[in-house]
Chain A
Amino acid sequence: MNRTTRTIAAAALTAALTATALASCAPSSGSDSGEKTLNVVFWDYGPAAQTGNQATADAFMAANPDVEVSLTPVAGENWGTYYANVATLIASGEKPDLMLISGEGAEFIHANNLALPINDYLESDPDAAALVDDIAPGLIDGFTVDGDIVTLTNAWNNMVVYYNTDVFAAAGLEAPSADWTWDDFKATAAALSKDTNGDGTTDQYGFTWASNEIFPGIMPWVANAGGNLTSDDRCEATVDTPEVTKALEFLKGLIDEGIAPAPMPMSDVFTRFQNGSIAMFGAGRWPIGTFVPAGFTSFDIQLYPSDETYKTVFGGSGYPILQSSPNPDLAWEYQKFTVSPEIQEQYVGTPEAPGDSIPSLRSVASTISEVGVPPVSSDLFYSSIDDHDTLVPYPAPAKYSEFESTVLRNLQLIFAGETTIADGLTTLQGELDPIVACS
């Protein structure tokens, strides 16, 4: 590169960075005009996200006529790419007041100094105590990083086992009980695995798990074996441990013994579960939003089986106030509004159109079964976090997206039998060490 080219390149870069910096310093139009405005960024994963966020914004504006809420839908094939796209949005000079995040993103936005912790609001706001009392402590802990509470949880999901009641009935099996063990689970899954057309190969499987996500995939098994994928401070990977090894040996054994098919992405699991070719799988409450509108209600839920321990594995979402917000006090009111009974009732839904996550308020969640929203054991959703230990902190380091893709990439090799569990976990540990490390 000659001197002239270098000069042009430096000038172009300087101009680009300066433009970004200037844009990020510029006040929003709302502040200029003196209007009360809020810009809320949300993950636009589909029509349900648009409808739900619009309903919340409309209700907030109805309750606060002097406030204008603008919604910014941001695309993304998963939470990780959504965060990347929001980061791009902020880098381009946008100044959102709030953004929707999942629990996996709490460490990420805290590490990047994006969120304004709400500890002070919780102490000073007279409404806060009543709200927090009605929210399971685990949901607060799940969004706490180094003592900073990043956001109130507006909705959440725990990992439970879904089972197809028709397949159970056809096999003459009783519904599983909450105190079942891994051995009980394996015996049940084996009894449900069959060659239904007599061609000598299994075509109905007892269980499967999602290959494209770790929370509804391996985490409940790792947690109940007494392990985790990271240390409590999320600064060290802990995958080459006896507990993780035990969990993977159990799952690999299910594949090897013809009780589970080769793992597949969650959306494929939904279809197989509805047509009965898979009798059980693990997920949060979100499948109900697909199953029930499609007319499929022959299912119920149960806790994951216990092994060394039982821990509820869960994940939540919330609307943290961003450091870039020109109106943090108003943003706090919006965040509080997302956990008000009025909004929380959206997550309950109706028997025909159920919500796809669990309300954070215990008092609202308890109405799910009263309203008659499937499945029959819906009370289990909230009781699983009130009555049992939880996996907190969950393995969501600041570089969560890279962390999860690294875990899943290595799990593919283990479950395909292309590496041993011991070798696979040793390799995985080596790859995760620099990703999980705290600076």
Chain B
Amino acid sequence: MLAPAAGVILLSFFNWNLLSDGRFIGLANFARLFTDGRLLAVYGSTAYMAFAILAVNVTIGLLLAVLLETRMPRWLRGFFRLSFLFPFVVSSSAVALIWRFLLNKDLGLVNFWLGEWFDVGRIDWLGSSFWAPISVIIVSSWKTLGFSILVYIAGLQSIPNEIREAAIVDGTNAWQRFWRITLPLLSPTVFFLIVINTINAFQLFAEPRVLTTGGPGDASRTIVQYIYDTAFGSFDLGYASTIGITLLLVLIVLTAIQFRVSRRWTFYE
């Protein structure tokens, strides 16, 4: 498991195009990080999409899980759980291909129905710098939401009924029970989902690649796409490895912050 990681670190000190002999160049690849005009833009678009996907998963995932567990008739729960989980288990590329067809500006069904129902003009979902990352956020969230819901449901089912029953006896309403009992006891689950979804969202690849190819320009390009393009488009394995190391560091720092901050709001029984 450590060998590939060690290989990446070693490669970052080399100039290697896969075909010629690698040439040791010291820290040149790391110095290049500071002059790479696209790197910051790509990190910006990655962070924007990643945090949006994280927010959708954590908040809407919780809302839907609670609704499924508390408001949905028992006989319908299985159907809806399966429906939400289905996108998660199908191929990302296949899903993105279908969405690309639906989101086409001039001939896509989404704009057609938006026009028919709401008289909305055609939105350039995949071609504009404003809408392209939003399309990636929508498609990626739609795909991953089922997993978050599943984890939330497991967390909800682990909360002892006695606590809720005691609160009902004490005269609390549903809203109070959610904020004072359910959410605090669910906080380890929320924390788990924040960590997992952050890491996954920062590694987004297939959806933007198929939907928008990262464009227009770099508006919806993710850092993993940039690493891939640098390695296998530009055949610059050394610099691609160096960018990979920055991603590793970013994820380590983000996760460390999350662990640190979580002490203030995570409650364990």
| A contact residues vs B (CB 8 Å cutoff) | 9, 12-13, 16-17, 80-81, 84-85, 87-88, 90-91, 112, 114, 199, 201-203, 205, 212, 261-265, 267-268, 271-272, 277-278, 399, 401-402, 405, 408-410, 412-413, 415-416, 418
Contact = CB atoms under 8 A, between A and B. Distances in A.
B107 A81 contact: no
Given A12-B10, A265-B100, A399 B234 contact: yes
Interface of B: 6-7, 9-10, 17-22, 97, 100-101, 104-107, 115-116, 122, 124, 126-129, 213-218, 229, 231-235
B104 A268 contact: yes
Contact of A201 (B10, B122, B213): B122
Contacts of A203: 106-107
A409 B217 contact: yes
A409 to B, nearest CB: 6
Contacts of B100: 264-265, 268
A26 to B, nearest CB: 17
Contacts of A265: 100
A341 B97 CA distance: 39
A13 B22 CA distance: 10
Nearest to A278: B107
Contacts of B215: 408-409, 412-413
A405 B18 CA distance: 19
Q: In the A-B complex, list the 6 residue pairs whose CB atoms are closest, starting with the nearest.
A: A261-B106, A412-B216, A87-B18, A412-B215, A84-B232, A402-B234
Contacts of B127: 262-263, 412, 415-416
A107 to B, nearest CB: 13
Main secondary structure of the interface of A (DSSP, over half): helix
A12 B7 CA distance: 9
B106 A418 contact: no
Contacts of A278: 107
Nearest to A424: B217
Contacts of A90: 18-19
A254 to B, nearest CB: 12
Nearest to A401: B233
Most buried by B among A9, A205, A262, A399: A262
Given A201-B122, A262-B127, A401-B233, A418 B216 contact: yes
A240 B107 CA distance: 32
Contacts of A261: 104-107
B6 A418 contact: no
Given A264-B104, A268-B104, A413 B217 contact: yes
A80 B232 contact: yes
Contacts of B217: 409-410, 412-413, 418
Nearest to B126: A262
B74 to A, nearest CB: 42
Given A268-B100, A268-B104, A408-B215, 11 more contacts: A80-B232, A88-B18, A112-B17, A202-B106, A205-B107, A267-B97, A401-B233, A409-B213, A412-B127, A412-B215, A412-B216
Nearest to B122: A201
Contacts of B231: 84
Contacts of A88: 18
Given A84-B18, A91-B19, A262-B124, A201 B104 contact: no
A202 B121 CA distance: 12
8 contacts: A12-B6, A87-B19, A114-B19, A201-B115, A262-B124, A268-B100, A409-B216, A418-B128
A114 B218 CA distance: 33
Nearest to B217: A413
Contacts of B97: 267
B23 to A, nearest CB: 11
B243 to A, nearest CB: 15
Contacts of A212: 213
B10 A416 contact: no
A435 to B, nearest CB: 8
Contacts of B229: 402, 405
A112 B20 contact: yes
Contacts of A112: 17, 19-20
A399 B122 contact: no
B10 A9 contact: yes
Contacts of B234: 399, 401-402
B214 A399 contact: no
A87 B16 CA distance: 12
Contacts of B10: 9, 12-13, 16
Contacts of A264: 100, 104
A84 B216 contact: no
B191 to A, nearest CB: 34
Contacts of A267: 97
Contacts of B116: 199
A418 B115 contact: no
A260 to B, nearest CB: 9
Given A416-B216, A418-B129, A402 B233 contact: yes
B186 to A, nearest CB: 41
Given A261-B106, A265-B100, A418-B216, A17 B232 contact: no
Nearest to A13: B10
A260 B106 CA distance: 9
A87 B124 contact: no
A91 B215 CA distance: 32
A329 B124 CA distance: 55
Contacts of A416: 124, 127-129, 216
Contacts of A80: 232-233
Given A91-B19, A202-B106, A264-B104, A405 B216 contact: no
Given A81-B232, A212-B213, A405-B229, A262 B104 contact: yes
Nearest to B116: A199
A17 B17 CA distance: 14
Given A205-B106, A268-B101, A408-B213, A16 B233 contact: no
A277 B17 CA distance: 44
A245 B122 CA distance: 27
B95 to A, nearest CB: 15
Most buried by B among A91, A201, A212, A412: A412
